[in-house]
Amino acid sequence: ANVVLWREEYDRAVKLPAEHVAEEAATGSMARAAWAEARRNNDFAAFLPWLGKQVDLRRRRADFLGYADHPYDALLAEYERGTTTREVVALFDRLRPELAAITAAAAERSRSVPAGLLAGEYPVDRQAAFNREVAEAIGFDFEAGRIDTTTHPFCSRISPGDVRLTTRYRRDDFTESLLGVLHEAGHGLYEQGLPEAEAGRPVGSAVSLGVHESQSRLWENHVGRSRAFWEKWLPRAASYFPHLARLGPADVAAALTRCEPGFIRVGADEASYDLHILLRFGLEVELVAGTLAPRDVPDAWNERFRDLLGLTVPDPAHGCLQDIHWAMGSIGYFATYTLGNLLAAQLVQAARQGDPSLDRAWAAGDFGPLLAWVRQRIHRRGSLLAPKDLVEEATGSPLRPDAFLIHLRNRYLGGN
């Protein structure tokens, strides 16, 4: 597997002329600065030349790399090896109508959940202490990692013994930093669980962005927003934040599973999140195919946003200018967020079916068996298999939307 991956990496590298790589790097730097200013000024016209340039560069990149069916395949493959545009389109086509219907119904039901249930003062040092306790309990190894503060949370592995997470804090809401830590700790657990003997070689690294994201979403959404998690952790949270003592675990879980569609992807709830991704993926494929012109992006965005989420986008900052990805040239990346969500649900389903003790442990707020399961089937496998083969080996079937849709229906439209 190492030789195959080295070969692929080498072949890809030598297909790209040095001038093209230099132009991508230079454009990325300048486009990022232009995007930040355009977003601040809510001015799509100022970003348009850079978007056009990035799309053009990515199309040329696809031509250099080569593809069998669609130029977008070449871009997607850099984030999700072996997955084709056609496969993602088919998955997303199945997901779209169901997800839109679940989101609409969940938003309706969420109206009965009072807003501001968790309102209060949350001193940052207490949030940090609570988050650390939780991260340690789910298995993050602080002898081989740490948590720091940034404006945009991320996880980064410096070396096998040094995995760094970051989060950000709000003084009026402790769940943003906590869910940020659970998300990044999910990435971190994967990095800490990779086969150490293979460190520095391809097999010792994460297999794909989609699989990476499945690990973060698993801890953030399936664990962190579950009632079982709060059965265990609410008393500890209340020892740090005494006003929470008036609430029950069901209240906290209800507050964290409120569905309230909005304009901004990073602030989206679990049910509506993937509609934001489906929108971006569709536009990207058309931009790369040349069937959508960069100047028509705002209109296409706004029209599809209304269809999918029923909301009218007020301005570009709340629409097509909100994300940094296109400015960075990361076209082909967005799909991996949804692939990760689908896989997280499929993994949890397979783990529960495969290990009968897991449900009992889960109900008691013990997620050790879940970690052991993903450690063995995902983390320890590194990049030994192609992502698709890994998914099939771990869950017994190719990636499907079914487990995710069942999870959403149970959680957002179920009886409790």
How far is 335 from 343, CA to CA, in rounded Å? 12
Respond yes or no: is residue 23 known to be catalytic.
no
Residue 57 vs 181, nearer CB to Zn ion: 181
Taking the complex as a whole, how short is the minimal distance between the CB of residue 241 and Zn ion, in angstroms? 26
What does the DSSP 8-state code read for residue 246?
Answer: G
Taking the complex as a whole, how short is the minimal distance between the CB of residue 15 and Zn ion, in angstroms? 29
Taking the complex as a whole, how short is the minimal distance between the CB of residue 354 and Zn ion, in angstroms? 25
How far is 105 from 412, CA to CA, in rounded Å? 8
Out of 184, 213, 220, 270, the active site residue is 184
User: Is 219 in contact with 186 (CB distance < 8 Å)?
Assistant: yes
What does the DSSP 8-state code read for residue 412?
Answer: I
Q: List contacts with Zn ion (CB under 5 A).
A: 216
3-class SS string, 249-263: HHHHHHHHCCCCCCC
How far is 321 from 337, CA to CA, in rounded Å? 18
User: Pairing state of beta strands 162-167 and 145-149?
Assistant: parallel
Q: Which residue's beta carbon is nearest to the bound Zn ion?
A: 216
Residue 83 vs 110, nearer CB to Zn ion: 83
CB atoms within 10 A of CB 415: 4
103 contact partners, CB below 8 Å, separation of at least 6: 259, 261, 271, 272, 275, 309
Residue 166 vs 216, nearer CB to Zn ion: 216
Residue 100 vs 206, nearer CB to Zn ion: 206
Taking the complex as a whole, how short is the minimal distance between the CB of residue 156 and Zn ion, in angstroms? 12
Taking the complex as a whole, how short is the minimal distance between the CB of residue 162 and Zn ion, in angstroms? 19
Taking the complex as a whole, how short is the minimal distance between the CB of residue 40 and Zn ion, in angstroms? 25
Query: 114-123 burial string, b = 16+ CB within 10 Å, else e?
Result: eeebbeeebe
Residue 24 vs 270, nearer CB to Zn ion: 270
Residue 27 vs 272, nearer CB to Zn ion: 272
User: Pairing state of beta strands 155-159 and 162-167?
Assistant: antiparallel
What does the DSSP assignment read for 209-241?
A: HHHHHHHHHIIIIIITTSHHHHHHHHHHHHHHS
How far is 163 from 394, CA to CA, in rounded Å? 25
How far is 74 from 414, CA to CA, in rounded Å? 40
User: Is 105 in contact with 413 (CB distance < 8 Å)?
Assistant: yes
Phi, psi at 118, each rounded to 5°: -100, 10
User: Is 168 in contact with 150 (CB distance < 8 Å)?
Assistant: yes
Taking the complex as a whole, how short is the minimal distance between the CB of residue 267 and Zn ion, in angstroms? 15
Residue 24 vs 213, nearer CB to Zn ion: 213
How far is 396 from 388, CA to CA, in rounded Å? 11
Taking the complex as a whole, how short is the minimal distance between the CB of residue 186 and Zn ion, in angstroms? 8
Tell the burial category of 207 from Cβ atoms under 10 Å away from its Cβ (0-12, 13-18, 19+): buried
Backbone Cα Rg of the chain: 21
Residue 110 vs 216, nearer CB to Zn ion: 216
Q: What type of residue is 309?
A: L
Q: Which residues are catalytic?
A: 184
